Amino acid sequence: MKAVILAAGEGVRCRPLTFTRSKVMLPVANRPIVEYVINSLVSVGIKDIIFVVNYQKERIKDYFNDGVKFNANIEYVEQKNPLGTAHALLVAKAHVCADIDIDIDTDTGIGTTDFLVLNGDNIIEPDTLKRIIESPANTILTSHRESVENYGVLITEGKKVKQIIEKPKTPVSRLVNTGIYRFSSDIFEYIEQKKCQSIPEVIQNMIDGGIAVQSLMTDALWMDVIHSWDLLDANARLLPPKSVQGTIEAGATIKGDVSVGEGSIIHSGCYIVGPVVIGKNCRVGPNSVILPSTSIGDSVTISSFSEIKNSVIMNNTRISSHTRIESSIIGSSNFIDSHFVTQCGENLMIAMGGILHKASKLGTVTGDDCKISPHVTTCPGVMIGSGCDIGAGNVLCKTIESNTTVV
C-alpha cells in the first residue's frame, strides 16, 4: 500500500513561523511535524510515500531526500497551483497508480488499488493507522473533540457517513474529520468528473451518488497543528526520554527526562528539569534555568542567568543573559540581547487576517532572523515577524510585521 502526504500549503495561521518554512516542517521536539507522519507510516509497513509539495518545497526535499534515511521510498509531485486538497490528490494520481499490483473487480473488470491520504501537519502515532489500513476503501478516520470550530465534522448513522460538514458555525457533531483516509483509485474519477476543490467535497458527492463511506473512530494520538501556539502542546506531549551525549559540567543539576545532543555543553550552576530536549552544539551558560516542556534546537546559545519554560527555541538562535522566556516560540537565527522578557497570558484572542483566534496560553511568537536589543518586554500574545530589528527598552503590545524596525 502507498500513502499520499499532502504538504503543499503554507499554513497562514502559523505565521510568522511559516514565512520561511511550510507548516509541515515546523519542529516538535526538534523534529519536523511531518517526520512523525512518515515514521508512523513506516512502523505499520507503509514505505512507499508520495509527497505533494509546493510552498517551500526545497526544505522538504533537502531534509527527506529519497527517504532512505527514514527507511522509506519517497517521491515528490508538485501542486503548482493552490487549487485545493482534491486537486492536490489528483496531481499524485500517476504516482499512486504506477508500478503496483491492482485488484480487479470481478463484476466490472475495473482495476483499483487502495492507498492512504494524510495531512503533513498532523502528529500521529502508529496505533492511529493500524486499524484504517485494515478497513475497506472510502474510510475516514475520525476523532472526538469537544471544540470543533476549526474542523470538518461528520454526521453518521452507526459507522455509515451521511454528511460531512466543513467548519460548521453551530455545533452539529463532535466527530471530527482527521484528514486521514483510505481510498481506492476510483476517487480520482470522482475528482475529475465533479471538479471538486476539497477532499470533503468529493466525499460528499460520493455519498450523494450512493457510494458507501464509513467512519472509523480512533482514540490513539492525533494532534492537528492549526496555529503556531499549538506547537507548545505537541512539544509537551512528544519530548524524548533522557539521553546525554553532550557535556554536563559538575555543579549542574539535571532532573527528569533531559536529552542533551552531541557537542552541547551545560555549564556549572544550571538547573534543568525535564522533559527537555537540547539539540547538538548548544551552550547553556552558568546559572541558567530550563523548565519542563522546552525544546532547544541545534547550535543555540543561552547565556547566564536566563530562564526558559514551556517554549520552543529553534536552531542557531542566541539568547543573552538575564532573559526570561515562557510559553513562547522563538524562530531560527535570532539574536536576543539581555533582559528580554516575554509576558504570558491565558485565553487570549489573537487577530490574524481579520479573524480572532483563541490561544489558551501564550507568551510570544517570533519569526526568523530578528535582532532584539536589551531590555525589551513583550505583552502576552505578541507576534514578531521575520527580519525585525527591535530597539532597546521597548514594550511590545501589538503585532510587529516582518522586516520592521522599532526604534
pLDDT at residue 395 in the model: 97
Kindly report the pTM of this predicted structure. 0.90
In which residue are the cell numbers 476523532 written?
143
pLDDT at residue 151 in the model: 76
CB hemisphere CA count around 321 (13 angstroms): 5
Cα distances (Å, whole numbers) of residue 404 to 5, 8, 29? 35, 28, 30
25-29, 199-203, 278-282, 327-331: the lowest-pLDDT one: 199-203
**CATH annotation of 2-226:** 3.90.550.10
- For the cut 80, the answer to whether the pLDDT of residue 149 exceeds it is no
- Per residue in 264-316, pLDDT (tens digit) is 999 999 999 999 999 999 999 999 999 999 999 999 999 999 999 999 999 99
- For the cut 50, the answer to whether the pLDDT of residue 107 exceeds it is no
Q: How far apart are CA 190 and CA 188, in angstroms?
A: 5
pLDDT at residue 112 in the model: 52
In which residue are the cell numbers 515577524 written?
385
Q: Which neighbouring-strand residues pair with 406?
A: 390
104-113: Cβ within 8 A, 24+ apart: 110/186, 111/185, 112/137, 112/184, 112/185, 112/186, 113/2, 113/184, 113/185
pLDDT at residue 148 in the model: 67
Where does CATH 2.160.10.10 sit in the chain?
A: 235-406
* DSSP H helices in 186-330: 187-194, 199-208, 230-238
- For the cut 50, the answer to whether the pLDDT of residue 109 exceeds it is no
- For the cut 70, the answer to whether the pLDDT of residue 117 exceeds it is yes
DSSP 337-385: -SS-EE--EEEEEEEETTEEEEEEEE-EEE-SS-EE-SS-EE-TTEEE-
Q: Which three cell numbers stand for residue 27?
A: 519542529
CB-based burial label for 405 (10 Å; 0-12, 13-18, 19+): exposed
Where does CATH 3.90.550.10 sit in the chain?
A: 2-226
| Superfamily per CATH, domain 235-406 | Hexapeptide repeat proteins (2.160.10.10)
pLDDT at residue 105 in the model: 43
